[in-house]
Homo-oligomer: A and B are copies of this chain.
Amino acid sequence: MKKSIENKSVKMRDVADHVGVSVATVSRALRNPEVVSEALRTKIAAAIESLGYLPDPAARALASTRSDVIGVILPSVTNNVFSAVMDGIYSAAEGTRYSVQLGYSRYAPLSEENLIRLFLRQRPTGLIVTGIDQTDAAKALLQEADCPVVQIMETGPAPHDRMIGFSHYQAARAATAHLIAQGYSQPGFLGARMDPRTQRRLQGFRDELRAHGIDEGRRVHSTTYPSSVTLGGHLLAQLMDAAPETDAIFCINDDLALGAMFEAQRRNLRIPQDLGICGFNDMEMMGAAEPSLTSVRTFRREMGAGAVQLILDALSDGARSDGNIVDLGFEIMPRHSTRRNS
């Protein structure tokens, strides 16, 4: 079995010669096995195996005007929300003939637009983009794309093609409602980065307060800096200085919540009595923290895997069925940090 090494330049031609058929037949055996005779098929498979043949993706793409890549554009490399999404994407793509090509926009709509253009140039099998806040040019590109396009992370109006996510607005309202239901009457808000998705969460927070006739006062603190545990601490410090009446906080994400928890401990604020804390995303650490932290569970891995599945479905469905929206929802995970009533 020397096959492992000797594939440096085994090409379809070699396989064909080895079996004594034309390259066309080998090609068919690979793409449409059903039209090749049983006998040849097995001989070809054996030859491929023993010669260690691997198709050249570039030649394939050039000749078929279609590459076997699924393009994915995410805003951030480091944010572990997206790590989970990627995990789902890679898992779902594993075992298929498709490979994943990743691009990072760094939360910049213009760079997202360029990435979309770049990816589309490769005639990908499908494209996965994050959210609904593309530039007009990007939207036009997606609209004209000749491959399935899936928007992830959100649900919302007018998807380009397909969509899988949840409502950040509703999730934030639910989290805020949870705080209020626990008896907190002066909830505050901690936010970072404040990209459009985050803004929608803020809007949910505000609308829920309003629905309960609660004034937000000076309790909304946010920054455009990227979020971090450290920042969570700073924001809580600012908030408590500006609005000492605050008795609970809804944090835009779990990092901020964790940082706020640490800061609360430094200030000897008792959780959940003096301060209730609710995060967002429900990363693994939330349940393990002391005290355990309430959060809004989102289905990130499922979003990634689901997006790939939507593309595969679209491929077999053939036609492009617009308006296909999958709402994965969310779930409030009540934990010690907001357990004031019980």
Tell yes or no: A223 within 8 A of B by CB: no
Q: How many residues of A contact B (CB 8 A)?
A: 54
Chain B residues positioned under 8 Å from A42 (CB to CB)? none
Per DSSP, chain A at the interface is helix
Q: Which residue of B lies closest to A290 (CB)?
A: B262
Would A77 and B67 be within 8 Å (CB), given that A8-B144, A288-B229, A288-B230 are in contact?
Answer: no
Which residue of chain B is the closest to A10 with respect to CB atoms? B121
> Measured between C-beta atoms, what is the minimum distance from A254 to chain B in Å?
11
A67, B58: Cβ atoms under 8 Å? yes
Check A84 against B78 for contact (C-beta < 8 Å): yes
Interface 9-residue window, one of A26-34, A100-108, A189-197: A100-108
Once the chains are docked, how many angstroms separate the CA of A46 from the CA of B262? Answer: 56
Is the CB of A182 closer than 8 A to any CB of chain B? no
- Copies of this chain present in the complex amount to 2
Bound together, the chains give a CA A338 to CA B5 distance in angstroms of 50
Knowing A59-B62, A62-B56, A285-B229, say if A80 contacts B83 (CB, 8 Å): yes
- Let me know if B258 and A56 touch, CB within 8 A: no
A5 contact from B4, B100, B141, B285, Cβ within 8 A: B141
Please give, as numbers and ranges, the residues of chain B lying within 8 Å of A266 by CB-CB distance. Answer: 290
On A, residues with C-beta under 8 Å from B are 4-5, 7-8, 54-62, 67, 77-78, 80, 83-84, 86-87, 90, 99-102, 104, 113, 117-118, 121-122, 137, 140-141, 144, 228-230, 232-233, 255, 258-259, 262-263, 265-266, 284-285, 287-290
Please name the 10 residue pairs, one residue from A and one from B, whose CB atoms are nearest each other, closest first.
A58-B61, A262-B290, A229-B285, A229-B288, A230-B288, A4-B137, A58-B62, A77-B87, A265-B290, A54-B121
